[in-house]
Structure 1
Amino acid sequence: MKAYVIEQAGGPEVLQMREIASPEPAADEVRIRVRAFGLNRAEAYLRAGKMGPITAPRVPGIEAVGEIVDDPAGVFRTGQRVATAMGGMQFTRGGSYAEQITVLRSNVIALDNISLTWEELAALPEAYLTAWGALEKSLAVERGQTLLIRGATSSVGLAALTYAKALGLNVIATTRSQTNAGRLREAGADKVVVDSGEIAADVRQLAPEGVDAALEVVGATTLRDTVKTLRPFGAVSVIGLLGGPPALESFHLMQDLPAAVRLNFFPSGLLGTAALPLSDSPLPWIAQDLAKGLIPSTHARTFDFDEVRQAHSLMESNRALGKLVVRL
């Protein structure tokens, strides 16, 4: 089968299409024919060597949609439409930049009777499952609360915005460019703040007592400012690292963290584990609501399988307002 392989760290040019063996599923795995996959920063970080040295050929990719080829346990039927995310893809097993993948059964979600195209489906798994885990599990948000999304024009930021509105939250969304404000309002944002690097005062004008919760997509570079927007006993969950490495220099718990504000990092690697099983994930109803036009699409652009390098270049340019996907 054809797959993209990374043999050394570098730019998009190190993504090489190769013929490799099709994987055989173990007892706790299934094999999927990949129809489309979404692009994520994690794949660019792996390719660039930011996740450790490349000591052996690696197939990138942490999510995909497609059809079941083989399930040794018979839980999923051959030809069934499914989505998968994480479960060690690109880290402890081959990733989704391939014609076929073998993944843990616990990281597979059935997508029966959904009329969306493969491209639209491919925009959903990683972004929406991350938003679900952070909002409902880490932050335990409640209808009517006010949520700040810092970095809302990213693919996961847009997914979090549309999902938060489906949960009945009031959303303040940020963007670094005024030209993107309309896109955020179309996606459902109640208020939009142009991010100058310091937005706490602007957010406090919109929510004088502080917001109830915040999703930090930019990361460590803006976290000190983001926590200032929260009310006492509010919470922030870091879900992105758009601003650089996940390191805070000399973070002072008493001076930098406001009174009783809770801080956590939500790793999507929890998806499909015992701590966060996907059996009750919202992905099927999100796909159904998207098909019905009840929630807006975050899909920005589709590339062919032989255009993965161009897709990586666009992703790293920060010009894509939404999810980039590749169709096989």
Structure 2
Amino acid sequence: MPSWDNTPSGKMTAAVLSSPGASPPSKCFTMDKEYPRPTLPSPSWVLVKVKAAGLNRAELRGRNGDEPAPPEFGMFVDEFHPDPPKILGEEFVGTVEEAGSETKFNKGELCTGFIYGGGKAFDGAYAEYVICPAQRLFRIPQTSLSWDVLGAITMSMWTAYGSLFEAAQLTKGATALIHGATSSVGVWAVLLAKDRGCTVIATTRKQDKAEKLKAVGADHVVLEHELNEQLKKLAPKGVDCLLELVGPDTIQSLALPNLAKHGSVVVTGVLTKQWAMKEFTPALIPPTRKMTFYSLEPGQEEAEGVERIVGEVVKKVESGTFKPEHFLDKTFPLERIGEAHEYMEDSKAVGKVVVTVP
């Protein structure tokens, strides 16, 4: 029996992945108003009433029936299986409905969950309720921000924050290259790096997205096909951090040759579906450069700072330092989840796509 197994109690509305791989995306989902509502698998879990769920590329792959890589299961890697769950959704915001006795949570608290493995090992957040292991759930401070705005902040923001400041140790005055900057993590990386006083170079494949990245705050926006040429002019001594949101297959050709001395390349995204570097050996890494992969895992020391950083960023959104129109691209109701997937899959978004749950 898997560690997340539970005995359902009652019914809930959910967007069920009934036909993986169907076309168009709306044909993949069925709205079920009598889907079994989950209960706590153990005292270390929390049941959350979902208010909004942010979309991720991994969910697009799940909807298509693409087999995930074992690292995508995170803390549930021992329970890896290639088939997607009936309900997708790896991140959410909402309120605590029921808290296990071994957790720190109380009913009614605002919260956010980053269930990387949870969106694959078990049913995710495209539903009225979701279960979440307590170590992947974090409190949100009381706020006047709407649920869709909150849903566009938490996981993407923390992924960018952890990549830049925990993994790369980026400091004021440094130069950061955000490779794949129109993604939700990429937009947050631009916002956070600029807020920290860094120079930001952002990349995009599409000319019509360049102005949006400039509005977000990027100092320089470079089209993908001009990147190597432009980097020689913009950062002749290299960049201090290259945040790789496209995939590790570019490290040897793009990242390592363009890092400054003691610079870091941090792989965070895998948009190309390429999880491994071909014909690569650690001997190719210069001794004064470093490379790492960033992902929040339970037990890592930075997990303790998630609630504090989320709280600080929520306040900066409330004050206008970070503007919702910069990081929230579009909101859909849950019943239009297929349209939301199609919009994201067509690469129309600059920032986060969110679905709201009634």
Same fold (TM over 0.5): yes
State how 1:59-138 maps to structure 2 within 5 Å: 59-73=87-101, 75-86=104-115, 88-138=117-167
- The letter of the residue matching 1:117 is S
Among 17, 20, 32, which residue is 2:35 paired with?
Answer: 20
Give the Å deviation of 1:79: 1.8
- Counterparts of 1:296 and 1:241, CA distance in 2: 27
Contact 2:85/2:124 (<8 A) preserved:
no
Give the Å deviation of 1:254: 5.3
2:86 pairs with 1:58: yes
Which string of whole-angstrom CA distances, capped at 9 and with x for unpartnered residues, describes residues 14-40 of structure 1?
A: 223333221112211111110111100
Among 330, 333, 339, which residue is 1:304 paired with?
Answer: 333
- Counterparts of 1:55 and 1:187, CA distance in 2: 37
Which string of whole-angstrom CA distances, capped at 9 and with x for unpartnered residues, describes residues 171-202 of structure 1?
A: 11111122222211111111111211x62331
- Counterparts of 1:262 and 1:119, CA distance in 2: 37
Q: Which moved more, 1:158-167 or 1:316-325?
A: 158-167
Q: SS of the counterpart of 2:119?
A: coil
- Counterparts of 1:288 and 1:50, CA distance in 2: 38
- Counterparts of 1:56 and 1:159, CA distance in 2: 28
Which string of whole-angstrom CA distances, capped at 9 and with x for unpartnered residues, describes residues 250-291 of structure 1?
A: 235556x455321222234x2xx0014533121111111011
2:290 pairs with 1:262: yes
In structure 2, runs of 5+ residues without a counterpart are 1-11, 69-80
Q: Which residue matches 2:300?
A: 275
2:262 pairs with 1:233: yes
Please provide the CA RMSD for this pair. 2.0
Give the Å deviation of 1:70: 1.1
Q: Which residue matches 1:40?
A: 56
Among 206, 219, 222, which residue is 2:234 paired with?
Answer: 206
Contact 1:7/1:54 (<8 A) preserved:
no
Rate the CA distance shift 1:56–1:193 in 2: closer, same or farther, 3 A. Answer: closer
Give the Å deviation of 1:218: 1.2
- Counterparts of 2:314 and 2:320, CA distance in 1: 10
Q: SS of the counterpart of 2:87?
A: coil
Contact 1:233/1:262 (<8 A) preserved:
yes
- Counterparts of 2:237 and 2:84, CA distance in 1: 52
Q: Which residue matches 1:5?
A: 16
Rate the CA distance shift 1:55–1:120 in 2: closer, same or farther, 3 A. Answer: closer
Contact 1:174/1:192 (<8 A) preserved:
yes
Rate the CA distance shift 1:253–1:202 in 2: closer, same or farther, 3 A. Answer: farther
Which string of whole-angstrom CA distances, capped at 9 and with x for unpartnered residues, describes residues 130-149 of structure 1?
A: 11221122111112111100
2:314 pairs with 1:287: yes
Give the Å deviation of 1:151: 0.8
TM-score by length of 2: 0.84
Contact 1:303/1:325 (<8 A) preserved:
yes
Q: Which moved more, 1:140-149 or 1:103-112?
A: 103-112
Contact 2:85/2:119 (<8 A) preserved:
no
- The letter of the residue matching 1:2 is T
Rate the CA distance shift 1:220–1:75 in 2: closer, same or farther, 3 A. Answer: closer
Give the Å deviation of 1:4: 2.3
TM-score by length of 1: 0.91
- Counterparts of 2:214 and 2:343, CA distance in 1: 23
Q: SS of the counterpart of 1:201?
A: helix
- Counterparts of 1:274 and 1:283, CA distance in 2: 18
Give the Å deviation of 1:87: 5.6
Rate the CA distance shift 1:136–1:246 in 2: closer, same or farther, 3 A. Answer: same
Q: SS of the counterpart of 1:16?
A: strand
Give the Å deviation of 1:102: 1.1
Give the Å deviation of 1:50: 2.3
Contact 1:122/1:325 (<8 A) preserved:
yes
Contact 2:85/2:123 (<8 A) preserved:
no
Contact 2:263/2:288 (<8 A) preserved:
yes
Equivalent pairs counted in the alignment come to 323
Contact 2:19/2:29 (<8 A) preserved:
no
- Counterparts of 1:45 and 1:300, CA distance in 2: 20
Q: Which moved more, 1:281-290 or 1:82-91?
A: 82-91
In structure 1, runs of 5+ residues without a counterpart are none
Percent of counterpart pairs with the same letter? 32
Contact 1:29/1:104 (<8 A) preserved:
yes
Q: Which moved more, 1:244-253 or 1:26-35?
A: 244-253
2:195 pairs with 1:195: no
- Counterparts of 2:58 and 2:196, CA distance in 1: 27
Structure with the larger helix share: 2
Q: Which residue matches 1:220?
A: 248
- Counterparts of 1:156 and 1:176, CA distance in 2: 16
Q: Which residue matches 2:3?
A: none
